[in-house]
C-alpha cells in the first residue's frame, strides 16, 4: 500500500477551479484505492482511502457498513456537526427514525408550494443588487442571503431577528472560524433556536419547523429539534450559496451556455442539473468503516476512514462513453449524478435546492442581460480546500 499523499480531497486544477486536480483523475485510473490526508476544520486532519469512480462512489454511499464520518458524541463539545438531531451524525435505525419525521416536510408538493416565496426573496435580492449599482458583489448580495432567507422562512425566524441570525450563520459556516469561536457561536445559535422551538411548541408556525413540531413534536426532544434547525442551516445554506455563485461564474465564462439558461425557459431544469453535476459544491463525503470490508477487492479495516469524491465521480458517469464530461453542456444534462449524494443519506433538501437554482439563475440573467464580471477573472477567489467549494467574491457590472 502506498504512503498517503498530502492532497486536499477538494483539490482542483491550477488552471481552472471547476476542474478536478490531475491527481484525482490519476486516482480514478489507479486500480489501488489511494490513501490521502484530508484537512478538516472540525476534526483534525485525517488519513482516508479515496473513492473517485462513479460506480464505487454509488456503492460506497449506499453501503451501510460505511458509517457517517461524524458521529454525535454527547461528551465532546457541541459544534455545528456534533449535535443531536443532525441526520448527518446518525446511522441505521436511529437515522431512519429521525429522517422519517422530516421527509414529509420536503415532498415535491410541499417544496412546490414555496415557489412564490422564493420568487419574492430572489426579486428582493435583485433589487438590492440594482441599488448597490455596478461593482455589486453577488456573493454578499445575492448568493449568500437567498438560501439563508429561505431557511429563515422554513424555520419561522421572525423578520426582526434575521440580521442577527444571518450573522451567526455566517460565523458558524465559515471554515476559517476557530474551533473556540465555533463552539461559542453555536451556544448562541442553540439558545436562539431553543426560543424558536419553544414558540413553535406553544403555537406551531405555518412553516417547515412548525409542521415537524405539529406532526412529530411528541416524539422529538427540544434538543433534537434545536439540532434539526441547525442542521437545515448547515446542510442547506453553504451548498446552495456555493452553487449560486459557482454557476454564475461558470456561466459568465461560457456565454453560449448562459444564453440557453436566459432565453429558453424549457431548458432551465436540464441546465441546472448539468450545473449541479459540473460544480459538485459538496465536494467529498467522509465515512468510517464500521467493520472490516472491501471496496472492489481492496481491504478497508474496521475504523478506517474513507472519503468519497463526488466531484471526481461526477466526471466518470456512464455518459463518459458518449460525451466529454469535462465540458459544460447545459443542453445535455446528465441522467444521474451524485451531487446530492446517494443512498440513505441522499440530500433531503434537493428539491428545494433545485427550486432555488431554477428560480434564481434565470431571474439574475433576465434582470441583467448584460451581466459581466467587474474585475479580471483571476481576481475571483475560490475556496478549493474545504469539503464545500466556495466563491469568495463576485463583483459584477451590467
Q: Which residue ranges make up the site for ligand HEM (CB under 6 A)? A: 61, 87-88, 99, 151, 231-232, 235-236, 239-240, 243, 281-282, 285, 339-341, 345, 347-349, 352-353
Give min distance, CB of 267 to ligand HEM, in A. 19
Q: DSSP character for 21? A: P
**Distance from C-alpha of 78 to C-alpha of 59, rounded to nearest angstrom:** 31
In angstroms, the CA 336 to CA 392 distance is 29
Whichever of 121 and 243 has its CB closer to ligand HEM, that residue is 243
Compute the distance between CA of residue 278 and CA of residue 261 in angstroms, rounded to an integer: 15
Let me know if 157 is exposed, middle or buried by CB neighbors in 10 A (0-12, 13-18, 19+).
buried
Angstrom distance (rounded) from CA 29 to CA 12: 17
CB-nearer residue toward ligand HEM: 115 or 133: 115
Minimum CB distance to ligand HEM smaller for 25 or for 106: 106
Contact 345, 71 (CB under 8 A): no
Residue 29 burial class via C-beta count within 10 angstroms: exposed 0-12, middle 13-18, buried 19 and up: exposed
CA distance 295 to 309: 14
* Min dist. Cβ of residue 83 to ligand HEM (A): 13
CB of 39 to ligand HEM, least distance (A): 17
> Minimum distance from CB of 117 to ligand HEM (Å)?
13
Q: Whole-number minimum distance, CB 340 to ligand HEM, in Å?
A: 5
Transcribe 203-214 into DSSP letters: S--SSHHHHHHH
Cβ closer to ligand HEM: 11 or 306? 306
Q: Cβ closer to ligand HEM: 92 or 369? A: 92
Nearer to ligand HEM, 336 or 374 (CB): 336
Which residue's CB atom is positioned nearest to ligand HEM?
A: 349
CB of residue 353 to ligand HEM, shortest distance in Å: 4
Tell me whether residue 19 or residue 397 sits nearer to ligand HEM (CB atom).
Answer: 19
Enclosing H/E stretch for 299: strand 298-300
- The nearest distance, CB 321 to ligand HEM, in angstroms, is 25
CA dihedral 310, 311, 313, 316 (to 10 degrees): 160
Q: With beta carbons less than 8 A apart as the criterion, state whether 79 and 182 touch.
A: yes
What is the distance between the alpha carbons of residues 95 and 2, in angstroms, rounded to a whole number?
A: 35
> In the bound complex, what is the minimum distance in angstroms from residue 397's beta carbon to ligand HEM?
26
Q: Please say which residue, 217 or 236, places its beta carbon nearer to ligand HEM.
A: 236
Name the residue among 307, 361, 324, 317 with its Cα closest to residue 338: 317
Amino acid at each position: 500500500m502506498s504512503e498517503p499523499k498530502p492532497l486536499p480531497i477538494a483539490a482542483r486544477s491550477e488552471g481552472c477551479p471547476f476542474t478536478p486536480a490531475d491527481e484525482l483523475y490519476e486516482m480514478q485510473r489507479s486500480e489501488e484505492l489511494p490513501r490521502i490526508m484530508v484537512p478538516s476544520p472540525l476534526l483534525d486532519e485525517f488519513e482516508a482511502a479515496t473513492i473517485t469512480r462513479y460506480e464505487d462512489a454509488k456503492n460506497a454511499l449506499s453501503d451501510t457498513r460505511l458509517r457517517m464520518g461524524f458521529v454525535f458524541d454527547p461528551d465532546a463539545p457541541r459544534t455545528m456537526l456534533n449535535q443531536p438531531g443532525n441526520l448527518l451524525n446518525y446511522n441505521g435505525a436511529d437515522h431512519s427514525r429521525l429522517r422519517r419525521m422530516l421527509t414529509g416536510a420536503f415532498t415535491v408538493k410541499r417544496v412546490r408550494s414555496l415557489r412564490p416565496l422564493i420568487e419574492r426573496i430572489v426579486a428582493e435580492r435583485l433589487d438590492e443588487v440594482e441599488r448597490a449599482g455596478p461593482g455589486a458583489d453577488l456573493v454578499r448580495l445575492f448568493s449568500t442571503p437567498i438560501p439563508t432567507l429561505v431557511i429563515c422562512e422554513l424555520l419561522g425566524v421572525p423578520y426582526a431577528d434575521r440580521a442577527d441570525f444571518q450573522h451567526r450563520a455566517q460565523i458558524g459556516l465559515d471554515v476559517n472560524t476557530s474551533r473556540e469561536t465555533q463552539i461559542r457561536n453555536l451556544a448562541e445559535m442553540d439558545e436562539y433556536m431553543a426560543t424558536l422551538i419553544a414558540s413553535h411548541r406553544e403555537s406551531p408556525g405555518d412553516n417547515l419547523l412548525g409542521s415537524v413540531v405539529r406532526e412529530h413534536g411528541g416524539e422529538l426532544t427540544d434538543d433534537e429539534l434545536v439540532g434539526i434547525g441547525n442542521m437545515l442551516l448547515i446542510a442547506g445554506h453553504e451548498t446552495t450559496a456555493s452553487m449560486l455563485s459557482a454557476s454564475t461564474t461558470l456561466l459568465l465564462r461560457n456565454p453560449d451556455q448562459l444564453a440557453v439558461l436566459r432565453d429558453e425557459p424549457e431548458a432551465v431544469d436540464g441546465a441546472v442539473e448539468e450545473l449541479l453535476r459540473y460544480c459538485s459544491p459538496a465536494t467529498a463525503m467522509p465515512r468510517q468503516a464500521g467493520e472490516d470490508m472491501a471496496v472492489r477487492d481492496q481491504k478497508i479495516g474496521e475504523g478506517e476512514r474513507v472519503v468519497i469524491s463526488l466531484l471526481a465521480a461526477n466526471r466518470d458517469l456512464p455518459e463518459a462513453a458518449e460525451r466529454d464530461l469535462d465540458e459544460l453542456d447545459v443542453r445535455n444534462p446528465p441522467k444521474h449524478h451524485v451531487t446530492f449524494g446517494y443512498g440513505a443519506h441522499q440530500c433531503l433538501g434537493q428539491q428545494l435546492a433545485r427550486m432555488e437554482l431554477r428560480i434564481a439563475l434565470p431571474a439574475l440573467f433576465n434582470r441583467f442581460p448584460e451581466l459581466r464580471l467587474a474585475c479580471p477573472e483571476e481576481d475571483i477567489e475560490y475556496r478549493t480546500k474545504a469539503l464545500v467549494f466556495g466563491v469568495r467574491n463576485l463583483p459584477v457590472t451590467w
